[in-house]
Amino acid sequence: MFDFSKWTIEDMEKRRAAIVTEMDQDGADLDKLGEEARAIKEELEKRKADATKREEIRKAVAGAAGVETRKPADNAPVNTVEEVRKSKKYIDAFAKYIRTGDPSECRALLTTNSNVQSNPGQLPVPTIIEERIRTAWERSGLLDMVRRTYVRGNLNVGFELSATGAAVHAEGTDAPAEEVLTLGVVSLVPQSIKKWIRISDEAYDMGGEEFLNYIYDEITHRIIVEAKRLLITAIVNAPAASTAQAVGVPSVTGAPTLDIVARAVALLSDEAENIAVVMNRQTHAEFIAAIAGNGYLFDPFEGYSVHYDNTLPAYTSATSGAAWLIVGDFSGAQFNFPNGEEVKLKFDDLSEAEADLVKIVGRLFVAIGITAPGHFSKVTKANG
């Protein structure tokens, strides 16, 4: 029923993530979605098993012949899009595509060397770039814990605003009242995060892999930093209590004392499990002073992971009523990437050609929001 012959592993992983979101939407065909999810799982397991078998055969052949197995020559035919994406020719062709906007060389390599066609609307990035983008998200710490989806357009995510509890029904008595369930909906609307830089003609003329690493590392890092800032800001600016259109983030007022983190964690729900503490790095010194004053006998963070982000003010410089610390399970936030996690690049080598400079603009289209109540709380500074 499902034909995955033209799908890459990346395509299947993205579709599997999208299925999770679609299952929560009103009117979803759960049977069909479940069947598709099982088919994707079986296909992924089959490809993994096939890859393992091929590797075992290669090792067996090498052992029998007494020779070392070698990677195929760069111009040798390959069988999958993944192998094409790893090749030097594709890396150089992709760098050329980034510079000129002409995808023909990349598509020719995908068509000629692979029995799997790429998505005609979007070129797959080389494997080295995909790994660097993934590493950039993981290195951010907090964002690696955020839920990610890949649904095109605006995404509405439902959450439980309120619900009546269950009741014991004693035999012979009236039946319990029907549950009253009130739902809220968070609308995740994508926005463009952009970063642009100027580089010299000499940097522009670097080799394919070196050029891609240089550009993606600089622009991707800055864009991911901005995405994290937007998430922290959304948590700080969230209402104290949930409404029909927004998830609430309660707060407690206090200073960097030994018990303040525990007081903030007490505001979270039972569903918040992987708890992180976020503060300005300067605030950490205030906690160290409190720990030292107690003879180093107590850890105010109770083993929770601690992350630093200067979007939050240091406690000493925070104004009255300002949030200076956040605790939470960041799976309660969600990023939706309508066009994938890859940062799109555009080049302008004409407007400043007289100065031998090239302008490069990076863009990430993403929606950011808090989608699960009880997953975050914040600490504010007392008045005065």
Which of 177-191, 218-232, 259-273 is the most confident on average? 259-273
Q: Are 28 and 22 in contact (CB under 8 A)?
A: yes
Q: Which domains does the chain have, with CATH numbers?
A: 9-132 (no CATH), 133-163+181-384 (3.90.1690)
pLDDT at 70 over 80: no
Residue 116 pLDDT: 45
Residue 14 pLDDT: 75
Rounded to whole angstroms, the Cα distance separating 38 from 32 reads 10
Higher confidence at residue 327 or residue 127?
Answer: 327
Q: Are 120 and 106 in contact (CB under 8 A)?
A: no
The identity of residue 84, as a single letter, is V
Residues 6 or more apart in contact with residue 220 via CB below 8 angstroms = 132, 133, 136, 343, 362
Higher confidence at residue 216 or residue 381?
Answer: 381
Q: What's the whole-number average pLDDT of the chain?
A: 81
Residue 115 pLDDT: 47
Residue 163 pLDDT: 61
Band of residue 165 on the pLDDT scale cut at 50, 70, 90: low
- For residue 364, which phi and psi values (nearest 5 degrees)? -125, 125
Residues 291-318: pLDDT tens digits? Answer: 998 887 888 998 899 999 999 999 999 9
Residues 268-287: pLDDT tens digits? Answer: 999 999 999 999 999 999 99
Structure tokens at 85: 């994406």
Residue 131 pLDDT: 73
pLDDT at 117 over 70: no
pLDDT at 357 over 90: no
Instruction: Identify the H or E element spanning 194.
Output: strand 191-200
pTM: 0.65
Q: Are 91 and 126 in contact (CB under 8 A)?
A: yes
Residue 359 pLDDT: 78
Rounded to whole angstroms, the Cα distance separating 281 from 308 reads 5
Rounded to whole angstroms, the Cα distance separating 223 from 301 reads 29
Which of 53-62, 116-125, 165-174, 317-326 is the most confident on average? 317-326
